[in-house]
Amino acid sequence: MSGARGNGGEPVVRTERVHKVYHLGKVEVEALRGVDLVIEDGEYVAIMGPSGSGKSTLMHIIGCLDSPTNGEYWLDGEPVSSLRGRRLARIRNRKVGFVFQNFNLLSRIDIVENTALPLRYLGGMRRGARRQRASAVLEKLGLGDRLRHRPDELSGGQRQRVAIARALVNDPSMLLADEPTGNLDSDTSKEIMKIFRELHSQGHTVVTVTHDPNVAAEASRIINITDGRVES
C-alpha cells in the first residue's frame, strides 16, 4: 500500500464547471452550480459546508456514485463524467475507498470478509488470496486479533477501523470519508483521525466530508461549499 500513485503528476481529482440538477417532481433543484476543484495526489483535504450546501452531492460525484449533469470530471487523469452503470462501478471499485459515517459493514460476515468485499467485485482473486490481503490490512490497523469476529462484536472505533481497512484493501487513488467520526465519541474520534493522519503521512490521498471543524482542522486544506459553489 504505497501512497505514490505514479500517474504522471495528474491531480487525483479535477473537476471543471460541474453542475448537478435534481428533479423533485416538477421542481428543479440545482445542487451544484459549476464546481471547479483540484485535489493533488497525496493531499489531505476536508470538504466543509452546512447541510443543503451541496457537499454530499459533490462527494457522490467525486466518489463516482453519481454523474454530473454538466461539466467534466477527471479521476486520476481518467475522464469519468460520461461513464455510467457498470463502467462507473469499476472505477469506483479500483479508485475510490469509501468510509461511511455508519460504517456500513455487513453484520452477517466476519470482518475479514467485510474487508475483502471490494476484492470480490474486482474479480480475478481466489477467496483465500482475498482473505489473506484483507487480513494483512486489518493487522496494519491493529485488528489482527479480531479477524474472526463479526462487526457487532466490535466497538464503534473498531468498526470504523474495519471500514477503513475495507476502503484501503483495493489500494485506491483516494480515501473518501463521509463524516467518519459522526457516530463516535470524542476519544474514539481522535483515534480515527490519527489513523487518517498516518495514512496521509504514508502518501495516501484523503478526502473527508464533514461539518465538524475539529475534523476539518486535521486536513492540510479545507474546501468550503456554500449554495453549490466552492468558496475561494
Partner 1 sequence: MNILESVAAGIDEAREHRGRTFLSLVGLTLGTASIIAVLALFGGAQRQSEDFLAEVGGAGSVIVRNDLGGRIELTPREAASPQLTWRDVLDLREEAPHLKYISGARHWYLRYTGPRNSFEGQVVATVPDYAAINDIEPLYGRFITEMDLEYRTNATVLGYSFADSLFGSPEAAVGNVITIGQERYNVVGVLTREEFHFAAWSGNAFEYRNRRAYIPLTTALKRIAGDDKLVWLTLEATDPMHLETAISEVSDVLLRRHRVRDFSFDRSSEDIAEGTEFFLLFDFIFLIVGVISLFTGGVVIANILSASVVERVREIGTRMALGASGFDMFMHFLIQSLFITSVGGLAGVLIGSALTSTVEKLMQFPAHVTPGIFFLGLATASFVGIVAGIYPALKAARMDPVEALRYG
Taking CB under 8 A as the binding criterion, the range among 6-14, 57-65, 192-200, 216-224 that sits at the site for partner 1 is 57-65
CA–CA dist 67, 62 (Å, integer): 9
Q: Which grid coordinates are listed for 9?
A: 503528476
- Site membership for partner 1, residue 127 (CB under 8 A): yes
Given a contact cutoff of 8 angstroms between Cβ atoms, the answer to whether 162 and 105 are in contact is yes
Q: Cβ closer to partner 1: 42 or 115?
A: 115
- Site membership for partner 1, residue 120 (CB under 8 A): yes
Residue span 148-167 as binding mask against partner 1, x where in contact by CB under 8 A, dash where not: ------------------x-
- Site membership for partner 1, residue 89 (CB under 8 A): yes
Q: Cβ closer to partner 1: 12 or 31?
A: 31
Query: CB of 122: closest distance to partner 1 in angstroms?
Result: 7
Q: Cβ closer to partner 1: 42 or 96?
A: 96
Q: How far is CA 134 from the centre of its chain?
A: 18
- Site membership for partner 1, residue 180 (CB under 8 A): no
Among 16, 19, 74, 90, binds partner 1 (CB under 8 A): 90
CA–CA dist 130, 132 (Å, integer): 5
- Site membership for partner 1, residue 1 (CB under 8 A): no
- Amino acid at position 65, single letter: L
Query: CB of 165: closest distance to partner 1 in angstroms?
Result: 12
Q: Collect contacts of 73-76 with beta carbons under 8 A, ≥24 apart.
A: 73/13, 73/14, 73/15, 73/16, 73/18, 74/10, 74/11, 74/13, 74/14, 74/15, 75/12, 75/13, 75/173, 76/5, 76/7, 76/10, 76/12, 76/173
106 closest CA partner among 144, 138, 152: 152
CA–CA dist 91, 62 (Å, integer): 11
Q: Cβ closer to partner 1: 11 or 63?
A: 63
Q: Cβ closer to partner 1: 67 or 70?
A: 67
- Catalog residues that contact partner 1 under the rule CB under 8 A: 60, 63, 65-66, 85-86, 89-90, 92-94, 98, 100, 104, 106, 108-109, 117-118, 120-123, 127, 166, 170
